[in-house]
Structure 1
Amino acid sequence: MSIRTATLAGTAIATTATAVAGSIATDPSSGWYRRLRKPPFQPPSSVFPIVWTALYADLAAISAVALDGLDKRSRPAERRRYRQALAANLLLNAGWSWLFWRGRRPWLAAAECAVLAASSADLVRRTARVSPAAGTALAPYALWCSFATVLTTAIARRNPGR
């Protein structure tokens, strides 16, 4: 499937805005975060920006593929619902950073992250209906969001009252 430049620009702007919003809230060098007890499967802090950059690029490109595929099939209602699902997902994505890092509410962030993981799986499902290959390409995003839910929950469990 080919991607129209305007569609890719729109999804790239949306995912970049999400990345910036999340980055503004994120502070892995804060005393609060350094004092948290973390599980043994916690990746090094340097891994997160690398993984998230790749996942955001994937999300922007694959969402553009799905949106253009829906447009080409003359399904404006499905296209609109996909855009709404993507927007909700991106808001949830950025919201986690604010709940966890700025709000310092690991349990609330874990609950929100579970909703994000479900939303991400829904995007994979919606994308796969348009293009099975594109759905497969988006699956790592949903898997990472699920991992983030497990990790955030583990941090919350190890740090009651924080």
Structure 2
Amino acid sequence: MNVLASKSQLRASFLRWSLFLVPLIVLLGFLAGQLGSPQTAWFQGLVKPSIFPPPAAFGIVWGILYVMIGFALALVASAWGARGRELAIILFALHFAGNLAWTPVFFGMQDMTGGLYILVYVTLSLLVVIWAFWRVRRLAAMLLLPYLAWVAFATVLNYQFIAENPDGGSTEESGAVERVTL
């Protein structure tokens, strides 16, 4: 026998999932951010592209996006019985692992090309996640659209870093830890 949940039961389920997933997503994002830093001499020595926003913008934007991502995931997770729910959650997990890998690769390993490959994966897999979320809860998919815009911008920015720093920002040849442009 199939019994539909009442609106209050659905709200309670969403609230429970939100109370768990929003802090979890924010915490995972924070922890990944600890595995690399823009405060390194390597990054400070890179030529910054003209589209590089103020450094404070990154923390603000990612904080807001991680909360929105958590709510989107909670909407899908609380959609018990919805067709495609499990697939959407699995696709999200595979996608989000890529998101969390970018900071350690770009800042930690100082690998701009590897970071670009990760961002291409993140962008493409996010499109698949949005499609899967749309099939379960349209609002969840729409909550991911600002994230998609930011990831697309980050991909272009990462590419611009490679174009502006064809040597990879290497300080090995000269032993310099700071680049001075005249």
TM-score range, shorter chain: 0.7 to 0.9
Distance 2:98 2:27 in 1: 13
Distance 1:51 1:87 in 2: 21
2:123 maps to which of 117, 120, 142 = 117
Distance 1:98 1:116 in 2: 15
Number of the residue aligned with 2:17? 7
Deviation beyond 4 Å, 4+ runs, structure 1? none
Residue 29 of structure 1 aligns to a residue whose secondary structure is coil
Number of the residue aligned with 1:20? 30
- Looking at secondary structure, tell me which structure has more helix per residue: 1
2:49 is equivalent to residue 39 of structure 1: yes
Identity of aligned residues (%): 22
Number of the residue aligned with 2:109? 103
Check conservation: 1:18, 1:91, Cα contact below 8 A. Answer: no
Residue 161 of structure 1 aligns to a residue whose secondary structure is coil
Structure 2 stretches lacking a partner, 5+ long: 1-9, 169-182
2:96 is equivalent to residue 90 of structure 1: yes
Pair 88,10 (structure 1): closer, same or farther in 2 beyond 3 Å = farther
> If you compute each CA radius of gyration, which structure gives the higher value, 1 or 2?
2
Paired positions, count = 158
Distance 1:125 1:82 in 2: 9
When the two chains are superposed, the root-mean-square deviation of aligned CA atoms in Å is 1.8
| Per-residue deviation, residues 112-160 of structure 1 (Å, max 9, x unmatched) | 1110011222222222222333322221111111111111111012112
2:151 maps to which of 138, 142, 145 = 145
| Per-residue deviation, residues 87-129 of structure 1 (Å, max 9, x unmatched) | 1122111100011000100011001111001122222222222
Number of the residue aligned with 1:130? 136
Amino acid at match of 1:18: L
Q: TM-score, normalised by structure 1?
A: 0.88
How far 1:80 sits from its partner (Å)? 2.1
Structure 1 stretches lacking a partner, 5+ long: none
Residue 25 of structure 1 aligns to a residue whose secondary structure is coil
1:156 maps to which of 158, 162, 165 = 162
Distance 2:135 2:86 in 1: 15
Residue 55 of structure 2 aligns to a residue whose secondary structure is coil
2:53 is equivalent to residue 53 of structure 1: no
Q: TM-score, normalised by structure 2?
A: 0.79
Check conservation: 1:107, 1:156, Cα contact below 8 A. Answer: yes
Residue 50 of structure 1 aligns to a residue whose secondary structure is helix
How far 1:49 sits from its partner (Å)? 0.3
Distance 1:79 1:145 in 2: 24
